[in-house]
Structure 1
Amino acid sequence: MANWSDPRTTAAPFATGADTRSVAYDAGLRSYMLSVYNYMASGVLLTGIVALLFSMGGTSSPAAAVFMSGGILKYIIMLSPLAFVMVLSFGINRLSTGAAQMIFWAFAGVMGLSMSTIFLVYTGSSIAITFFATAAAFLSLSLYGYTTKRNLQAFGTFLIMGLVGIIVASLLNLWFQSGTMSLVISAIGVLLFAGLTAYDTQRIKLMYSHVAGTDMMGKAVIMGALSLYLDFVNMFQFLLSFLGSRD
């Protein structure tokens, strides 16, 4: 009598070529995404450490001296992160992987200098609560973007248009100084970067099939980390305007 309960009688004697390729692809994708998240998290950590150190001492800190003086150094620090983002975004094809990594770390450090003012404005406890709330939301949204079968790329144009709108509204509010407008911008900003977190995660995942095994893979990791870093930091800043308690 055939031993129908013996799994050895129904198991395939060896994996097919397609199965082997699928396993290799999945392992490569996991390694790729893990590298992206490692760079992103390390960048956020570096930014936080630099911001904390630069603001130590409160009104006697280097951050207070720079940002309360109104000198040119204030504007250099504020605009430097944008310069690094532009160099990476428009020059990534001409940069080596090592150069892209160094620029990313320099960007994260300069962002720390720029963001150090939050420690002068908000209480430490409210910054910590907002950070952990942002981290929880980011992890959930990124996990959704990674696992969902729904194509989120269709939302890309809408989200980019929203981002442009937020930038324009923020610049206008520098002139009007409206508290209500600031709250509206912050609320829309949180929702916008929540959507971008899921969208960018899926986009980075799909990018793997184009860069796997090529010289662009290392640079794709950096650019993916930069996108998720910006999503996290912007969501944190907009959320802080709601949850943050001022000193």
Structure 2
Amino acid sequence: MEDNQFTPEPRRIQISAEEAAEVQARFFAQVYGWMAAGLGLTGGIAMFASTSPELINFVFGTPFVFLGLIILELVVVGFLSARIFDWSLGKVQAAFVGYAMLNGVTLSCVFLAYTSSSIASTFFVTAGTFGVMSLFGYFTKADLSGWGKLLSMAVIGLVIAMLVNFFFNNPVVEIITSFVGVLIFTALAAYDTQKLKMLALLGITEGEEVSNKASILGALTLYLDFVNLFLFLLRIFGRRR
């Protein structure tokens, strides 16, 4: 649940609107391609892991293993977001793929807790919602930059509320946080997409390799928005086994 900071900022350049649109279109093709690959890999690993009793017992049978994997995921995302422009392109790609696989292992619990039909239907609802908001963020002329601080504070508040409710296990609070989570990550899909449009121009000022790294950073950002939106929607609409 992170609002990634995009660095470095592209230098000011003189470019026509048509050229900028072409650059952004190519950039987003890469972003959505990496994002789709990451989601597909995560889903495939999650499905496979959920059918392996040995793996499930190893990951969820010992709380320290599952907690360790979650911490490792946070570390990978943190390093990838902060050091992506310092690493080689191959290392960046490997880190993204590794994170998607690792997340698949931890998300295998979804297939154990919810029915396959509700997972599938929620996925399509998520895809539709995310797609509409991402397109809105891409094409809107409104400046969404003012959403940034508000959404960051909302994410922090949401995490605190969920941690507190972990101990109290209040079903009303769980429903409220689920709906709030849907609203936050729906908004983040639009906000992050618009923010990525500026990052797309790095390819002109910094070169193709930096642009390729930036596209993976963008894919990671939207991937996180999608996965969190899916999980919150699943808490609302999912049918438990």
Q: Distance in 1 between matches of 2:34 and 2:87?
A: 18
Gaps of 5+ in 1: 1-17
Counterpart in the other structure of 1:72: 64
Give distance in 1, aligned partners of 2:60 and 2:146.
44
Q: Deviations over 1:109-144 (max 9, x none)?
A: 000001000010000000000000000001000000
Match of 2:195 among 203, 216, 220: 203
Give the 3-state SS of the residue equivalent to 2:145 in structure 1.
helix
1:243 and 2:237 matched: yes
Per-residue CA deviations over 1:174-221 (Å, capped at 9, x if unaligned) read: 111111111111110000000000000000012223443414211111
1:133 maps to 125
Name the % identity: 36
Indicate if the aligned counterparts of 2:23 and 2:201 stay in contact, CA closer than 8 A. no
Question: How much does 1:245 deviate?
Answer: 0.3
**Letter of the aligned partner of 1:45 in structure 2?**
G
Counterpart contact for 1:55–1:61, Cα < 8 Å: no
Which of 89, 95, 99 is matched with 1:97 structurally?
89
**Counterpart pick for 1:62 among 38, 55, 62:** 55
Q: Deviations over 1:39-64 (max 9, x none)?
A: 0111011000000000015xx3522x
Residue 47 of structure 1 contacts residue 109 of structure 1 at CA under 8 Å; is this kept in 2?
yes
From 230, 233, 241, give the equivalent of 2:227.
233
Deviation at 1:93, TM superposition (A): 3.0
What is residue 4 of structure 2 aligned with on the other side? none
Q: Which residue of 1 aligns with 2:3?
A: none
Q: Which protein has the larger Cα radius of gyration, Structure 1 or Structure 2?
A: 1
Q: 2:86 is paired with a residue of what secondary structure? A: coil
Query: What does residue 76 of structure 2 align with?
Result: 84
CA distance in 2, matches of 1:170, 1:185: 7
- Superposed CA deviations along residues 88-113 of structure 1, whole A, max 9, x for unmatched, are 12222321222111101100000000
- The amino acid across from 2:44 in the alignment is I
Q: Which amino acid aligns with 2:25?
A: R
The residue that corresponds to 1:224 in the other structure is 218
RMSD of aligned residue pairs (Cα, Å): 1.7
Q: Which amino acid aligns with 1:162?
A: A
What is the CA–CA distance in structure 2 between the aligned matches of 1:86 and 1:68, rounded to whole Å? Answer: 24
2:38 counterpart letter in structure 1: G
Amino acid at match of 2:24: L
Offset, 1:67: 4.4
Q: How many residues align?
A: 226
- Cα pair 1:130 1:243 within 8 Å, conserved: yes
Q: Residue 50 of structure 1: which of 41, 45, 53 is its match? A: 45
Asked if residue 142 in structure 1 is aligned to residue 137 in structure 2, the reply is no
Unaligned runs of 5+ in 2: 1-13
Which structure has more relative contact order (CA 8 Å, sep 6+)? It is 2
How far has the Cα of 1:68 moved from its partner?
Answer: 4.0
